[in-house]
Chains A and B, each alone.
Chain A
Amino acid sequence: MCVDWDTVLHVNQEIMTSTHDLSDNEADDQQQSESQMEPLSANGISYAGIATQNVQYATPSQLGTGHAVVPPTYPYPDPYYRSIFAPYDAQTYPPQPYGGNPMVHLQLMGIQQAGVPLPTDTVEEPVFVNAKQYHGILRRRQSRAKAESEKKAARNRKPYLHESRHLHALRRARGCGGRFLNSKKDENQQDEVASTDESQSTINLNSDKNELAPSDRTS
């Protein structure tokens, strides 16, 4: 399921790039993605061969907003994410003279590269996503995993919600197949003993409907 969402978001990224850029830029993006894939085949971690081009996807004001918004530290205590982030920072981004935030560098470089490699459960092929959505995607993955674990824990469903209604249902009379009996059906049986006409079939249909309705209400 996570992989599907990555694919959807990847498609979304393609749509956004096509919206913002010209066809020439699209060709450049394809070349960038191809060049990025080559170092991955050699090393799954290092990205030394990445060629950065000055493709502007955001206005300077947005870049400023990125500076202000990026948090100082990684909010993910999971060692899996730490092991992925640490070599990424150490190898690819040298320290800047103005002592900026490593997250800021990551986001800026991600914007220029038109995609940040997103770690997936199957480490075979990384999926490139919009840098702005990177942390959101990771957060959603954690939320989904948490919901999944909660779902597994709560699979044993309650047989009924209200005790009084449960007792009432137990007291009701039931027929051969376990369905509830009702007054109309009892009258119908007496009429069947008396005579058999076409009108009886109509009453049968009504009684069947009435018989089904209580079971729906009960469930």
Chain B
Amino acid sequence: MDQDVQDRALPIANVGRIMKQILPPSAKISKEGKQLMQECVTEFISFVTGEASDKCHKENRKTVNGDDICWALSSLGFDNYAEAIGRYLHIYRQGEREKINHTKKYENPQNQTQINRAPPPPLLLSRVENPPPTNQSG
């Protein structure tokens, strides 16, 4: 059973690392807590993805995109998350657009590697900013 669960679940080390980001440095998380969060997160992903996939199936589309995920969150009642993830999607698409423009301007591979390093930091910062509001609401 454990192997089957782990095959379908997120890596537990990554789950633990994400949980640590929101806690003070001195805090510790038990293995039981990580495992339970792992199951919760996996089920939540399947729950939201199932809703988005259902919509795509009705509209005869094969690809589930970011807008479908935002719609699914809103449809399931997670309006706060839908708003936050909508803003994230906007920032992400801006970064992708700038990336494409830079690639078109400079075709040298060295410049491409430099450009690839730039976009990730702002996305990570926006990701870190999201968790505090949920803490306040809780």
Contact = CB atoms under 8 A, between A and B. Distances in A.
A139 B53 CA distance: 11
Given A71-B58, A136-B47, A136-B51, A151 B4 contact: yes
| Size class of the contact patch on chain A | 10 to 19
A5 interface: yes
A19 interface: yes
A207 interface: no
Contacts, number: 37
A16 B40 contact: no
**Is chain B's binding surface mostly helix, strand, loop or mixed?**
helix
A136 B76 contact: yes
Given A19-B137, A69-B75, A136 B50 contact: yes
Given A136-B50, A136-B51, A143-B50, A5 B58 contact: no
Contacts of A143: 46, 50
A132 to B, nearest CB: 4
Contact of A140 (B4, B40, B50, B58): B50
Contacts of A69: 75
Contacts of A130: 76-77
Interface in B57-90: 58, 74-77, 79-80
B43 interface: yes
Nearest to B80: A19
A140 B46 contact: yes
| The 8 residue pairs across chains A and B that have the minimum distance between CB atoms | A132-B77, A130-B77, A19-B137, A133-B76, A136-B51, A139-B50, A132-B76, A140-B47
